Each structure stands twice: as C-alpha cells, then as structure tokens.
Structure 1
Amino acid sequence: MSRNISKPLVYIYIISLILHLAVFSFFLLKQGEIGGLFVVDASDYVGEAKNIADGHGFSVTPEAPYIPNATIGPLYPLYLSIFYRFTGHFWPAVLVQNIIASFIPILVFLIGSYFILDRRILWGAALFSAIEPNLLYYTSVVASEGVFIVLLLLSMLAFIRFLKTDKKSWLIVSALILGLTVLSRIAIQYLVGFLAFWLLVYFIKKKYSTKVIIQNLAILLLVYFAFISPWMIRNWRTFGHTELATTGWIDLYTRTGSSVRALVEGTSYGESYHRQLQDLVDQGIIKDADEREMYGFQFQPLLKAQTLTLFREHPEELVKVSLISFISILTQDNTYVFLHQAGVLPAVPGNVSPSLILFQKGIRGVVATMLTLARNQAYLVIYAGRILWAILTVLFAVGVYALWKAKESRAFISFLMLVIFYVWGISIPLTASISARYRTPIIPIMSLFIVVGAWYLAYRIFSRYVSPRSQ
C-alpha cells in the first residue's frame, strides 16, 4: 500500500479509535461496568462467560445445576471469559474489542478498493464507518458485534481476494473465518449455502471446468463445516441435536407471531407478545410467561407447529408484517438509545412504528400519531434518524446502480449484495422488535454504496458527472 494511501487510513483509524475509546470510557467511568457496558442481551454473554471461566461450561445458569445452553454462539462468551478469568472484570475484554473494532474502516477501504478506484470515495466510506453512531455504539459495549463484524468483513475480504486471484488459499482463509463468524453469531450460519450457490453460478458463467468447480465448492464447504463441527458435536452429545442454536422458532413464534396477532386483534405488539407467552402457560408448556423457558431444543417442534398454524390462518397479515419489518430494517436508527443511555435524552414509553400504525389506523392515524409524538424531543431524534436512514437507503440504491454499470465489477457487487440481502432476510422475522442493531453488521459495506450514491447524484445535479470508477 503506497504511502499516500496509508497515511489517510492511519488518520481514519485514529479517529475511529478515539471515538470508540471515548464512548467506552464515558459509559464505564460514568455508569460503571454493569450499568455502562452491559446492554441489551449482555446478561447472557456475561453469565455464560463467568461459567466458562469458573469451569462450569457453556451455561447461563447462575448457580448449580449449571444447565447447558445453546441459545448463543460460543465464541464471544469464550472471548469474554479469558479476560474475566485473569482480571475478574469484563471491561478489559471490551477495551481490546474497541481497539479491534476500530479497524472496521480500514477493512471497508480494502474491500472497496477491489471495485472502486477513486480513493476519495474509499476514504469517505471509511470515515462514514468510523463515525456512524449505531455501528460505533454496538461495537463499544458488551455485544458480539465488536467481534462478529470484524470477522465477517475479514471473511468477505478474503473471499474477494480469492475472486481476484483464483488462489485456493484465500478461499480456505475465507471459509475458516466464516466458521469463526458463525460461532460468534449463529444467525449467519446459512450464508455458506447461499455463498456456495453463488459461487457455482459464478464458476459456470466463467466457464470453469467441472473438476475445478467441485474442488472449490468442496474446499468452501468442508473447511467451513470442519470448523463449526465441534459445536455441532457438542450439541449432539448434550441435547441430541446437531443444530447450532435453539432460537429460530422462538423468534418466529414470539416476534413474527406476536406482530401478526397485533394486526389481527388490533392490539399493540407488547400486548400480543404477552398473550403469545400466556397461551403457552395455559397449555401447560411453560410455567411462567418468560420466553427463556423455551430455550431448549425440545420446544422447537411445538413452536414450529403453532407458528405455522398462525401463519396459514392469517397470510395477509403475515405479508403486511413482513413489509413492516423490511421498512424497519432499512430505516431504524438507534441513536436515541445511545443518547438516552448517555443521559442526553429522556426515556420514552416505546418506539412507535409508523408502518404498524399505517396498517392499523390508516394514513390519518399515522399523521395524528406523528404530530403528537413530535412534541417530545426524544421522538424527534428517533424519527429524524429514520428519515436520515431513509435518505441513506436511497443513496445506497443509487450507489448500487452506479457501480453495477461497470460490468467488470458486477461479480464483487453481486457478492456484497448477497451478504446484505441475507442479513436483511434473517432480520425480518424479528418484526416489531427489530432495531438498528440488526443492520449494524452490513453498515460498513453499505457505506461504500452510500458514498458512491452521494457522489453520483452530486455530479449529476451539477451536470459534471464523472464515474466513481477510473476511466
């Protein structure tokens, strides 16, 4: 890498590191380790990490008997446990995580350099990744994003390098890191199947021989499964199942099912969620209305049957809920969460979804609700963030269009879009519980297209358009 390229990247890394350490230090010093760094689902990661460090295995149970757990990937709690074992605290692990996550802008630059030759666009995308609030927040606290996103980007970078060089060693590296990525966030587990199909189509279009196609697909799949197989074997020995996690049908029953029910019954998501759990209590399946009771593999067939029955009975509501989810994953913004935790904004009773109100009360209901909520400064931030991300999504689409025009870049673009659509797809079942957190893994990649889109439109508006690629 030439000096005139590396120097700005060093500056961007320093900016990213300073911002990460500022967020980390602010929450740690002001609110302490538990109040400042333990957010969202941190309790599961922390509880399991403590048990690993104390020799009780992968369990979130705080006391004996330590019931084995399979709701989260093993990598992040294992990472946390190493630091907890030697220091008795989790903040050192988060500190190192911040240092590692600060490299995300560099990885964005390197990935983009394979199909964008204008360094200004690459620097802009890297800078965007360094300062984007949602990405910054969730990689600065106890959350798997700080490890997961870096691994995902490294795997993508190695895969793109394989496409560029045709060297099998890069495919091996990509498959290995993808295995690690899955063990840090189980939801990404099926990406390898889509990736294998994409690679098959790519090889056929490139007229590779059957032998080479089989060799490369075998490398991808065998290396990947060899890496995740220890966790599959553990689950088989412990639970009698080879699935990597137990949360799939839980999410569909509690999140998607609750949202469908909310539309059918005209209630709020929260009310429908509690009714879904209460139904299981009434059937004697669980004792308390707590979804944690359903974390075992034995509950999955029952949840699957009840969820599919609900979907078959209300297909129209399911389509509407899926549309709401897709809009939400594109536009949700959690800057409010960050500012509220920092003490800048007051708490609000809930993040009201305009899309849900639209289907329940129509356009007048949306306008009336939005005007009422706009009197609260917290809601102003929430909906200003959604408007901003709606604009950024448009720029993203424009960027995809602009880059797709260059035929030599289409392989890279289609690969990146595969990853983006996969993340969008696995987020849709979360429906009304979707937050911007579920978009953070792809914000770094989206930043490339967003900056290209802004560049493209700026030159079109001023009638001086020059392709973002070198001519």
Structure 2
Amino acid sequence: MALVISLRALIRFSKEYRTLIVLFVLAFSVRALYALAVQFLSGEHGFIAFSDAEFFYYRLARNLVDEGVYSLAASAPYYPEAYHTPLYPWFVAAFLLLKLPLLTIALAQAFLGAVMAMLSYSIARNISDSYPIAVSVGLLMAFEPMSIFWSGLLMSDTLFAFLFITSVYLLLAKKPAMSMLSLGFAALTRPIALYCAPVFLLFIAWEAYRAGRSIRHIGRDIAVALAMFAVVVSPWLIRNYVTFGQASLTSASWYVVYVFPLMEFAHDKGLSIPNALPDLPQEEQYRRFSFEYVPHYQRAFFEATKGDLLGFAFVYGKRSLNSFVTDRYEFLVTGVLAEKVPALFAAVPAAMVQTMLLVGQMFWLAVYALALVAVAINRYRPWWLFAVALVGINALLSGGLNPVGTDMSRYSLGLYPLLFLFAGIGARSLWQRSRVWRIVSSQ
C-alpha cells in the first residue's frame, strides 16, 4: 500500500514538474521571440519606444552608469530624482554597466515573465487544488498579450509583477517574512506595494490565528515580517528625507493628482484651476516632478476642491471604476501593430480588428464576473478577500489616477494570477451547478 502511495506521489510530482517546464518554455519562447522581433523591426530603440521607458528609466540608468547620479537631467547640473523608486533603474543600469545590449534586458524580462507563469500555476494549484484551473492560469499568464508587450520594453512593470507574485507565492508557502521581503523590493520598484503591505500583514495574522497560534506568536510573526519589509524600504525613505526633507518613497502623488483627476474634476465643474506647473527651461522640465513643487500642487488642489471635496471624490471614484472596463488591447493593435507592421495591419479588415478588440474587452469582463462568483465558496473566501483588497487598492490608486486601458494593463500584471484563479474557480462552480440543475430537471 505504501509503495502504491509512493508511486502515485512520484507520478504526480513528475506531472507537476513537466507542467512547470512546459509553462516556462512556452512563456519564455513567446517573449524571447517578441524581443527578437522588436530588435529586427526597430533596433535597440524599439526597447525604449515608449515615453516613460526612454525619458525615465533609460535616462536614470544611463546617468547612474555614466555620471554616478540618480537624476533625470540630460546634462549638468544633475538634480536628484525622487519621482521613481530606484530598483528598476538599478536593474537596467547593471546591464548597461556590463555594456550589454538592450536586447539582453528584454530577454531577462522574458525570463522573469516565464518564472511568473510557473509561480502563477503553483499559486493556483495550491489554492484551488485543481490541475485544469492551475494550467489555465499558467497558460493565460504565458500568453496574455499585454504582458508580452511590456516585457519587451524598459518599463518597471515586469520586474514589479515578478516580485509581487513572488510575495504572494511565499505567503501561500507560509513564509511570511520572506513574502514581506519580496514585497519590500516590489515597493522599491513601484510604490503602490507600500499600500498593499497592510493587506499582507492582516492575512499573515489571520493565517496564524486560524492555525491556533497564540497572540504572542502572532505578534512576533507580524513584527518579523514588518521588519523585513522595513529593512528594504527604509534606506530609500532615509535618502529622500536627508535629500529633500520628505520621508516618502516618491514625489509623484500630488503631481499626478493635479495633472489627471483634478483636471477632469475642473472640466466637469467648469472651474479654472491655478497653473501650478513651474516655469522651467525645456531642459529642466523634469524638475516639475520633484518634492520642491509638491506644495504648489497641494495648494492648487485645495483651492479647486474647496467646498466640494465630495464632488472630487465622485470624479475620482468614477475614474477608479472606469479603470476596470477601459480597453486593454486598443493601444497594442492601433498603436503598436499599425506602426510597426503597417502592411499587415492594413491587410486586416477593420471589422475584424474591432471584433478582436471586443473579444478582448469581453474576456476581461468575463474574468471579473466569474471571479465575483467565487465569493460564494467558503473554502476560498479568505484568499478571495485578500485578492479583492489588492484589486481594490490597485483600482483606487492606479485606476483613479490613470484609468487608461494601456496603463491599467501594466499596473495590474501582478494581480493577474489571482484574477485568473478566481475566474477559474467561479467558472467551475457555475459548471458544477449547471450539471446538478440538468440532473434535477431531467428527473
């Protein structure tokens, strides 16, 4: 009997191992082929052919290597930068320091994307205990079009998603301290991870409580996990405090609020907003992102919303909700394919293009709807609430500030495994209920 059990375990292990290898090969191959296509069609510039990639990340990395400064300045004086957290520029700078071509960065990101597919499979397998659901999640992570697109650009999103998904995987593996360590590195890639940290800590406490651990042990687990997170992010906070007098990860918040949701609020209300943008020479325009001008954006915000903060909250909430339904793939089709391969794009009938975009839109609506169905299943509810909290934070912060589908496709990469997982669980639940209904109705 023990031999039979051992053989079954070995067969299952081999099956899991083969599945992980296949997912890795598929995900890496499609991303590597895309990176090679970018190199062939556009050369090295293709990897920075997106405004943020060239102006922010590549320039920061270039200045780190060439000048030894963390600055967006194209030439001296090199004012210090705080708009972007440092991990991704350091990541790019490491390749530039070794004088490697930009293609190698895209291939490294292809590797991270492939590991993400494996981690996503493992997360789904452990939570759902369903091989078909886990494989579906892994395949969706491997082939989701925008995740492939972003892996071929010098943008922080693939690295962030990798670190974020790793933190979820480690949380599931009951390694809370390592999970928070990974989340700390994610926060140094995109600051939104800082706001996700309380959700992780609450889940760590809940899991410890459910396991019957004492309050003392739960407190110790939380303290250790929080310390791991703080060890990673505190040096950057200290740097910003020493340099700018601000213990904050980024100077972005008030600038982005001023430029995007506040402008929409003013347009809807017919208001005239004070011009808070500094009058700077063209070569110093990057300084508008700095802490130096945050008070200007704050004053403009409070002057514009005085007496109508509720109205602004309504506009902001509308933007957050709208971020769920903005088209994820329109830019990929009309902005990338139409420019890079115009002959191919011209050969495709416009009706087919619109149909493809509609299918993409319907796919995401189905994912959200099916994921909502999963709330009815008690077994998965703690993880479902965990996922909903993270999705809500992303919609509130990323979506409220910039709900455009192109940007939401990258802001949400780290959440895709959980969204696909609960959509799969919801679909399975509906299928099982329909089978029961058919059996009952046939009797």
TM range (shorter): 0.7 to 0.9
Shift of 1:37: 4.3
* Cα deviation code 1:333-379 (max 9, x no counterpart): 332222335434799xxxxxxxxxxxxxxxxxxxxxxxxxx988766
Shift of 1:439: 2.1
Tell me if the contact between 2:113 and 2:142 (Cα under 8 Å) persists in the aligned partners.
no
Q: Report SS of the residue matched to 1:233.
A: helix
Q: How does 1:243-392 map to 2 (within 5 A)?
A: 243-265=248-270, 279-280=275-276, 285-287=278-280, 292-315=286-309, 317-344=311-338, 381-392=356-367
**Alpha-carbon distance between aligned partners in 1 of 2:150 and 2:370, rounded to the nearest angstrom:** 23
Q: Which moved more, 1:292-301 or 1:59-68?
A: 292-301
The one-letter code matched in structure 2 to 1:410 is: R
Structure-2 residue corresponding to 1:449: 422
Tell me if the contact between 1:459 and 1:465 (Cα under 8 Å) persists in the aligned partners.
no
The answer to whether 1:52 aligns with 2:64 is yes
> CA separation of 1:113/1:232 partners in 2, compared to 1, >3 Å: closer, same or farther?
same
**Alpha-carbon distance between aligned partners in 1 of 2:100 and 2:67, rounded to the nearest angstrom:** 14
**Alpha-carbon distance between aligned partners in 2 of 1:237 and 1:100, rounded to the nearest angstrom:** 34
The one-letter code matched in structure 2 to 1:304 is: Q
Structure-2 residue corresponding to 1:5: 16
Q: Report SS of the residue matched to 1:190.
A: helix
> CA separation of 1:211/1:90 partners in 2, compared to 1, >3 Å: closer, same or farther?
same
**Alpha-carbon distance between aligned partners in 1 of 2:298 and 2:260, rounded to the nearest angstrom:** 13
Shift of 1:33: 1.8
* Cα deviation code 1:211-251 (max 9, x no counterpart): 21221121111121111111112212221222111001111
* Cα deviation code 1:368-405 (max 9, x no counterpart): xxxxxx9887666555533332222112212x325x33
Shift of 1:252: 1.2
Tell me if the contact between 1:12 and 1:105 (Cα under 8 Å) persists in the aligned partners.
yes
**Alpha-carbon distance between aligned partners in 1 of 2:249 and 2:70, rounded to the nearest angstrom:** 13
The one-letter code matched in structure 2 to 1:179 is: G
Q: 2:244 aligns with which of 232, 239, 242?
A: 239
Q: 1:414 aligns with which of 385, 389, 396?
A: 385
Q: Which moved more, 1:442-451 or 1:29-38?
A: 29-38
The one-letter code matched in structure 1 to 2:396 is: G
Q: 1:147 aligns with which of 156, 159, 173?
A: 159
Q: Report SS of the residue matched to 1:17.
A: helix
Q: How does 1:128-277 map to 2 (within 5 A)?
A: 128-162=140-174, 170-200=175-205, 203=208, 208-265=213-270
Identity across aligned pairs (percent)? 19
Structure-2 residue corresponding to 1:359: none
**Alpha-carbon distance between aligned partners in 2 of 1:293 and 1:107, rounded to the nearest angstrom:** 39
Q: Report SS of the residue matched to 1:184.
A: coil
TM-score (norm 2): 0.85
> CA separation of 1:378/1:37 partners in 2, compared to 1, >3 Å: closer, same or farther?
farther
Tell me if the contact between 1:395 and 1:450 (Cα under 8 Å) persists in the aligned partners.
yes
> CA separation of 1:321/1:23 partners in 2, compared to 1, >3 Å: closer, same or farther?
farther
Q: How does 1:76-155 map to 2 (within 5 A)?
A: 76-87=88-99, 89-155=101-167
Tell me if the contact between 1:346 and 1:378 (Cα under 8 Å) persists in the aligned partners.
no
Ranges in structure 2 where 5+ consecutive residues have no aligned partner = 1-11, 342-348
Shift of 1:431: 4.3
The answer to whether 1:430 aligns with 2:435 is no
TM-score (norm 1): 0.80
The one-letter code matched in structure 1 to 2:418 is: I
* Cα deviation code 1:27-85 (max 9, x no counterpart): 22101221354324102000000011114321111111111101111111101111111
> CA separation of 1:104/1:432 partners in 2, compared to 1, >3 Å: closer, same or farther?
closer
Count of residue pairs brought into register by the alignment: 417
**Alpha-carbon distance between aligned partners in 2 of 1:280 and 1:376, rounded to the nearest angstrom:** 44
Ranges in structure 1 where 5+ consecutive residues have no aligned partner = 163-169, 266-271, 348-373, 467-471
Structure 1 vs Structure 2 CA RMSD:
3.0
Tell me if the contact between 1:257 and 1:307 (Cα under 8 Å) persists in the aligned partners.
yes
Q: Report SS of the residue matched to 1:29.
A: helix
Q: Which moved more, 1:251-260 or 1:309-318?
A: 309-318
